Structure 1
Amino acid sequence: MSEAAKICSELIRIDTTNPGPGEREAAEYVAGLLSEVGLSPVIVESAPRRASVICRVPGDSPDALLIHGHLDVVPADPADWALHPFSGEIADGYVHGRGAVDMKGSLAMTLAWVRQGVRPRRDLVLAFLADEEATGEFGSRYVVSEHAELFEGCTEAISESGGFSVTMPSGVRVYPIGVGERGTAWMKVTARGVAGHGSKPPADNAVAEMARALTRVADHRWPLRLTPSVSALISELSDVLGMEIDPEDLSEVPLQAAALFKGVLRASTNPTMMNAGYKVNVIPSRAEAHIDGRFLPGFRDEFLETIDGLLGPKLTREFINFEDAPSAPISGLFYELGDVLRAEDPLARPVPYVMTGGTDAKSFARLGIKGYGFAPLLLPPDLDYFALFHGIDERVPIDALDFGVRALSRLLDA
């Protein structure tokens, strides 16, 4: 068994469900692996058992690269899984369990590489973080605001959601490298009205006003907005597929190609929670709802203006989580990452990629650190990798983890 697979399995066995028991045990395990090879990791605890690990690896240049990932995972119900989600079982060439993909497998690749003891070509800062699966308040946000000195010299970063292969019908393996993310606007919206008896004609029904507003939000067709990175991706995919991709009509685009960009052509707003009333015959004076909003890099102001218009004058909004949309240039490190993939896989076609969701890169952008999605994996063509994120029977191929360690060695070794 490779060391990457062994570490991945052992990390999965440590339950770091968020919300749940916290990341302290996993942080201590990671710190122990780093200490064994002569490094000096620092465990930072933002709240009881909410722990992150930061470790600097000296290299040949003080211009530092940040490699970050998260220790926490989303919940998993064992009744839904073929194998227990926290078993870390190794079977059929895969490591199975919650976090195998998102993202203990990637952490295992980084740890397996660093334990080889090779001096990197530039200083590295390794960050194994708490709370990414929520808002990062106890993880990336905390270390950025309270321990920014630990990231001194870091100008660029690599992390999850990029660098994995997606096999096209022609056999070409496209490798999306993350260069941006949609911004996050999680909102609580409130409608206020006049309380009264449910049998009487309503003077100003807060529930009805909320229902009308949420319908406007849910039904809104956000306009197509092609950012430079998404335009570059569509151009690359058009060349790979031998067809001109029309972003307004994806009916002829293979699903595996469309999955790379269809979620980042527009902003989105999805009502996700509602709360109003306490008795069927009482008209409440207040109704609340939550909306998951996402916007593209460069379109924050347009998004906010539009959402206010959709909510209307009778509703108020407040953010429960707001993060701008970070982006990184398609230059420099982007091309270096692409060269690494082509060296490891002759069929590789690196392309830029913008995430529909978000990562801890949003927090590190506050320090001026440009983030790239690069957790390299050569995957079987029939594996629906996207479905494994937060999905049932999450698993990662052992061969893919070993590929990732080789790719990291090619990128990082002096």
Structure 2
Amino acid sequence: MTLDVAQLCAQLIRFDTTNRGGGSSEGEREAAEHVAAILQDNGVPPTLLEPAPRRTNVLARIPGTDPSLPAVLVQSHLDVVPADPAEWSFDPFAGEIRDGYVLGRGAVDMKDMAAMTLAVLNRWHVEGRRPRRDVVLAFVADEEDQGVYGAHWLVEHHAAYFTGVEAAISESGGFSFDVDGVRLYPIGTAERGTSHMKLTAVGRAGHGSRKNAQNAVTALVTSLARIAAYEHPVRLTPTVEAFLVGAGKALGVEVDLDDVDGTIARLGPAAKLVENTVRCSTTPTMLQAGYKVNVIPGTATAQLDVRTLPGTIDELEATIDSLLADGVTREFLEHQPAVEAPVDTAWFAAMAEALRDEDPAAVVVPHCLGGGTDAKAFSRLGIHCYGFSPLSLPAGFDYRSMAHGVDERVPVEGLEFGVRVLDRFLSS
């Protein structure tokens, strides 16, 4: 029986796999068991692995017709970020299909990719086909936190499952982005590093009504104001430079690599795809201080969402240190370096060809992700990781606001397009 990709996506959304961080998650086991059952029904024996109770990962390998070829990894995460039903116009976990869209949390991040992968495998099973090379599958837990129960744990404890894998595909790339009738398809070939920090200000506790030159709160907010106002210098990576050149040519925009900000401004709507990836960023996101309004606390803390570009970590640390007020120290909460895969490979060429086979007008460009994915884990095994979760999207559809946003949804036609593209790429 042929499985419908929209129904597969809706079924996955109905498993509430909310990851609240700190080791707390819901529904990952049930979703993993559902995926495993579909794999088994389609002739692909699954392996379920749990580093902790209910934090379930599903692995499988489909043998190719030519075992001499390097394998490809297709990886998806089954967990999602929280969704407050009071903010949504529909139930985020009902998995409805309405007005040409699949609705719900995870529709684009990233149960769509999981559903498209399963639909491709079902096609192969029904039609009696096999791929040319081994296809390794990983449906993992915990991507929406730090991956310690998912991809990073698998890499550290079960690396043998990925023997022979040369390249991997996953989320955040291969979607269409319409700019005045020009359809760009950015394929993720890089992503910024994640180096989140905690700042701690230590001062002298005292009465709120009295003068205090060692106020920890004042030292902390002074530091945060300096950090928030600081503009990090432009640092062009090969991926970002290739994006600017390729997108500029397609859009008829003058590209001046000595004036990157001016070039980005001329890209119009396409600026959203690159503006966050030409610099490091240090964004204050969390504050904690005090326990009573008339008491000056002895300590105050803050956390920074820090994203880095390759080769910039030493420069960034020195910059942060220069912006801290007296009595304020810093420490890393997480430190995962930036990753970058080569653009001039047969893998990238095959992805571009698969997109153009379905959309001859596709303009394929490399893309650097502003955030992070499980590519940071799998790249540690020497695997070239690409963001390639193909979708054809209607003009004006704000895809980038869907992930982690309210009223997340994905077009059914986009999913069907993605299945055809993935089938072409993985079969060839």
For the aligned pair, the TM-score class normalised by the smaller chain equals over 0.9
Q: C-alpha distance in 1, partners of 2:117/2:264?
A: 39
Q: How far does residue 92 in structure 1 lie from its aligned partner after superposition?
A: 1.1
Which residue number corresponds to residue 241 of structure 1? 251
Kept after mapping to 1: 8 A contact 2:222/2:325 = no
> Any idea what SS the aligned residue of 1:322 has?
coil
Give the CA RMSD over aligned residues: 1.6
Q: How far does residue 250 in structure 1 lie from its aligned partner after superposition?
A: 5.9
Indicate the larger mover: 38-47 or 192-201. Answer: 192-201
Kept after mapping to 2: 8 A contact 1:342/1:348 = yes
Which residue number corresponds to residue 121 of structure 2? 114
Equivalent runs, 1:45-60 vs 2, <5 Å: 45-59=50-64, 60=66
**Which letter does structure 2 place at the counterpart of 1:98?**
R
User: Is 1:172 matched up with 2:177?
Assistant: no
Kept after mapping to 1: 8 A contact 2:75/2:139 = yes
Q: C-alpha distance in 2, partners of 1:352/1:196?
A: 55
User: Is 1:9 matched up with 2:10?
Assistant: yes
Kept after mapping to 2: 8 A contact 1:181/1:297 = no
Of 6, 26, 38, the match for 1:21: 26
Q: Deviations over 1:65-94 (max 9, x none)?
A: 111111011111222222211111111111
Of 76, 95, 109, the match for 1:88: 95
**Which letter does structure 1 place at the counterpart of 2:160?**
E
Which residue number corresponds to residue 192 of structure 1? 202
Where structure 2 has 5 or more consecutive residues not aligned to the other structure, the ranges are: none
**Which letter does structure 2 place at the counterpart of 1:73?**
V
**Which letter does structure 1 place at the counterpart of 2:249?**
D
Which residue number corresponds to residue 301 of structure 1? 314
Q: How far does residue 301 in structure 1 lie from its aligned partner after superposition?
A: 2.1
Q: 1:2 to 1:33 in 2, by over 3 A?
A: closer
Q: C-alpha distance in 2, partners of 1:126/1:293?
A: 31
Indicate the larger mover: 150-159 or 301-310. Answer: 301-310
**Which letter does structure 2 place at the counterpart of 1:28?**
E
Which residue number corresponds to residue 237 of structure 2? 227
Q: C-alpha distance in 2, partners of 1:346/1:248?
A: 31
Which residue number corresponds to residue 361 of structure 2? 347
Equivalenced residue count is 413
Of 159, 162, 177, the match for 1:151: 162
Q: How far does residue 282 in structure 1 lie from its aligned partner after superposition?
A: 2.1
Kept after mapping to 1: 8 A contact 2:199/2:328 = yes
**Which letter does structure 2 place at the counterpart of 1:226?**
L
Q: How far does residue 293 in structure 1 lie from its aligned partner after superposition?
A: 0.6
**Which letter does structure 1 place at the counterpart of 2:137?**
L
Which residue number corresponds to residue 206 of structure 1? 216
Q: How far does residue 298 in structure 1 lie from its aligned partner after superposition?
A: 2.7
Q: C-alpha distance in 1, partners of 2:37/2:264?
A: 51
Kept after mapping to 2: 8 A contact 1:22/1:51 = no
Q: C-alpha distance in 2, partners of 1:211/1:262?
A: 27
Aligned identity (percent) is 53
Kept after mapping to 1: 8 A contact 2:336/2:376 = yes
Q: C-alpha distance in 1, partners of 2:343/2:375?
A: 16
Which residue number corresponds to residue 171 of structure 2? 160
Q: How far does residue 256 in structure 1 lie from its aligned partner after superposition?
A: 2.5
Which residue number corresponds to residue 381 of structure 1? 395
Poorly superposed stretches of 4+, deviation over 6 Å? none
Which residue number corresponds to residue 41 of structure 1? 46
Q: 1:255 to 1:74 in 2, by over 3 A?
A: farther
Which residue number corresponds to residue 386 of structure 2? 372
Kept after mapping to 1: 8 A contact 2:290/2:300 = yes
TM superposition score normalised by structure 1: 0.96
> Any idea what SS the aligned residue of 1:221 has?
coil
> Any idea what SS the aligned residue of 1:137 has?
coil
Which residue number corresponds to residue 315 of structure 1? 328
Q: C-alpha distance in 2, partners of 1:36/1:2?
A: 11
User: Is 1:131 matched up with 2:167?
Assistant: no
**Which letter does structure 2 place at the counterpart of 1:329?**
P
Equivalent runs, 1:67-82 vs 2, <5 Å: 67-82=74-89
Q: How far does residue 383 in structure 1 lie from its aligned partner after superposition?
A: 1.1
Where structure 1 has 5 or more consecutive residues not aligned to the other structure, the ranges are: none
> Any idea what SS the aligned residue of 1:47 has?
coil
Q: C-alpha distance in 2, partners of 1:56/1:285?
A: 56
Indicate the larger mover: 227-236 or 350-359. Answer: 227-236
Q: C-alpha distance in 1, partners of 2:147/2:94?
A: 26
Q: C-alpha distance in 1, partners of 2:295/2:179?
A: 57
Q: C-alpha distance in 1, partners of 2:265/2:132?
A: 45
User: Is 1:394 matched up with 2:394?
Assistant: no
> Any idea what SS the aligned residue of 2:262 has?
coil
